[in-house]
Amino acid sequence: MGQPDTLFTWSETARAEFDALVDGTNTSDRFRLALAQMIANGWGANRDKPIWALAGTLALFGETGAKLSSSLDFLWMPPNAVFAHLAGCRHPAVSANESGSYHLKLPGGGLMLDRFRLKLLQKYLEFLISCNGFAHSGEVSTLLDACLRGGLADKLATDTAVKTIAKILYRYRTDHFDDGHATSAFSILRAYLAGVGDVITDDTVFDFWSAETNGHFKTYQASYFALKDYVDALADARSRAAMRRAGEIDAPGVAAELAVDFVDPFEFEGEDEATGDIADEVEQAAAEHGGGEDAMVAALKAIAESEVKLIKKRQEMLAAPIASAGAFGCSLPLATLRLLAFHPIQSALSNSLRTGKATLSLQERVTCIEARRYGVLMGEVGELEGAMMEWLKIAFAVRSQEATGNAKVDAIRAEGVQLLKARRSQSLARPREELAEAFARVERALMALARTLGAFRAAACGRAGQSGDLDAGFEADRAKFAAHLSRLYAS
Last residue in a domain, options 122, 153, 176: 176
Specify the amino acid at residue 245.
R
Flag whether 228 is in a domain: yes
Flag whether 302 is in a domain: yes
Structural domain that includes position 382 = 280-490
Handedness of CA 291, 281, 283, 308 (dihedral sign): positive
Residues 439 and 324 occupy one common structural domain: yes
Cα–Cα distance measured from residue 4 to residue 23, given in angstroms and rounded to the nearest whole number: 12
Residues 197 and 153 occupy one common structural domain: no
Residues 304 and 453 occupy one common structural domain: yes
Flag whether 270 is in a domain: no
pLDDT of amino acid 351: 81
Contact 419, 437 (CB under 8 A): no
Give pLDDT tens digits for 265-281. Answer: 222 222 333 333 333 33
pTM for the whole structure:
0.57
Q: Which of 119-123, 169-173, 487-491 has the highest mean pLDDT?
A: 119-123
Supply the DSSP symbol for 400: -
Sheet holding 109-113, edge to edge: 94-96, 102-106, 109-113
Flag whether 40 is in a domain: yes
Last residue in a domain, options 139, 158, 176: 176
Mean pLDDT for 332-347 is 94
Q: What is the mean pLDDT of the chain?
A: 80
pLDDT of amino acid 180: 41
Last residue in a domain, options 155, 176, 197: 176
Q: Which residues pair with 105 in a beta bridge?
A: 110
Closest CA to 86 of 109, 110, 57, 108: 57
Residues 86 and 144 occupy one common structural domain: yes
Flag whether 7 is in a domain: no
Q: Which residues pair with 87 in a beta bridge?
A: none
pLDDT of amino acid 25: 72
Residues 170 and 138 occupy one common structural domain: yes
* Phi, psi at 254, each rounded to 5°: -65, -40
For the chain, count helices (H), then strands (E).
Answer: 19, 3
Residues 196 and 169 occupy one common structural domain: no
Closest CA to 152 of 100, 91, 83, 96: 91
Percent of the chain with pLDDT over 90: 42
Residues 303 and 245 occupy one common structural domain: no
Residues 132 and 208 occupy one common structural domain: no
Give pLDDT tens digits for 437-483. Answer: 888 888 899 999 999 999 999 999 988 776 678 888 999 999 999 99
pLDDT of amino acid 381: 95
Residues 248 and 305 occupy one common structural domain: no
Flag whether 275 is in a domain: no
Mean pLDDT for 17-30 is 80
Cα–Cα distance measured from residue 389 to residue 277, given in angstroms and rounded to the nearest whole number: 10
Residues 160 and 207 occupy one common structural domain: no
Give pLDDT tens digits for 203-248. Answer: 999 999 999 888 778 899 989 988 888 887 777 655 555 544 444 3
Flag whether 272 is in a domain: no
Cα–Cα distance measured from residue 146 to residue 164, given in angstroms and rounded to the nearest whole number: 13
Domain count, the chain: 3
Flag whether 307 is in a domain: yes
Residues 90 and 138 occupy one common structural domain: yes
Residues 223 and 310 occupy one common structural domain: no
Cα–Cα distance measured from residue 20 to residue 116, given in angstroms and rounded to the nearest whole number: 20
Which CA distances in Å does 315 have to 296, 383, 389?
Answer: 15, 10, 14
pLDDT of amino acid 478: 96
